């Protein structure tokens, strides 16, 4: 029990030490959206991106109702949305890997910059996606 508490305190101390009063955006953390046709595909892609350090974290949001125009037809599908946390430095590699893994002819890959966030979390994303590790 004591070891468990000491380990948790050590983790909290590490997170606290990573915290800075501000972050200047130089980490360039991105939030990438990608829809998948089903949970199985989404899970496979999410795991691959994290294992290959292209993403620090991927959230899966199942049962997303999508309506879109494809080849001059209005389509309706149930999809799973991936919310992928990565960095600008890893985006090109992530995009190429997503396209290779994805069953869609034209997968949705949209990135938006994260302009604010908990500094320790943003630093964690950068550390997890670093190719120097």
The per-residue pLDDT for range 105-119, each reduced to its tens digit, is: 999 999 999 999 999
Query: Residues with Cβ < 8 Å from 63, sequence gap 6 or more?
Result: 78, 80
**HEC profile for 60-109?**
EEEEEEEEEEECCEEEEEEEEEEEEEEEHHHHHHHHHHHHHHCCCCCCCC
Confidence grade of residue 132 (pLDDT, cut at 50, 70, 90): confident
Helix (H), strand (E) counts: the chain:
4, 4
Q: What are phi and psi of 55, to 5 degrees?
A: -140, 145
Residue 55 has what DSSP assignment? -
Query: Is the per-residue pLDDT at 21 higher than 60?
Result: no
Q: What is the pLDDT of residues 67-108, one digit of tens each?
A: 999 999 999 999 999 999 999 999 999 999 999 999 999 999
Report the C-alpha gap between 28 and 42 in whole angstroms: 25
Report the C-alpha gap between 62 and 69 in whole angstroms: 21
Model pLDDT, residue 2: 55
pTM beyond 0.85: no
Model pLDDT, residue 107: 97
CATH 3.20.20.140 assigned to domain 31-128? The reply is no
């Amino acid at each position: 029990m004591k070891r468990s508490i000491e380990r948790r305190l050590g983790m909290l101390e590490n997170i606290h030490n990573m915290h800075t009063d501000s972050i200047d955006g130089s980490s360039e953390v991105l939030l990438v959206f990608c829809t998948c046709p089903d949970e199985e595909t989404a899970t496979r892609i999410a795991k691959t991106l994290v294992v290959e350090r292209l993403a620090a974290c991927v959230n899966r949001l199942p049962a997303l109702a999508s309506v879109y125009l494809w080849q001059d037809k209005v389509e309706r599908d149930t999809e799973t949305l991936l919310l992928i946390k990565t960095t600008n430095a890893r985006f090109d590699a992530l995009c190429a890997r997503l396209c290779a893994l994805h069953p869609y002819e034209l997968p949705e890959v949209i990135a938006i910059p994260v302009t604010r966030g908990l500094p320790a979390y943003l630093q964690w994303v950068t550390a997890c996606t670093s190719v120097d590790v």
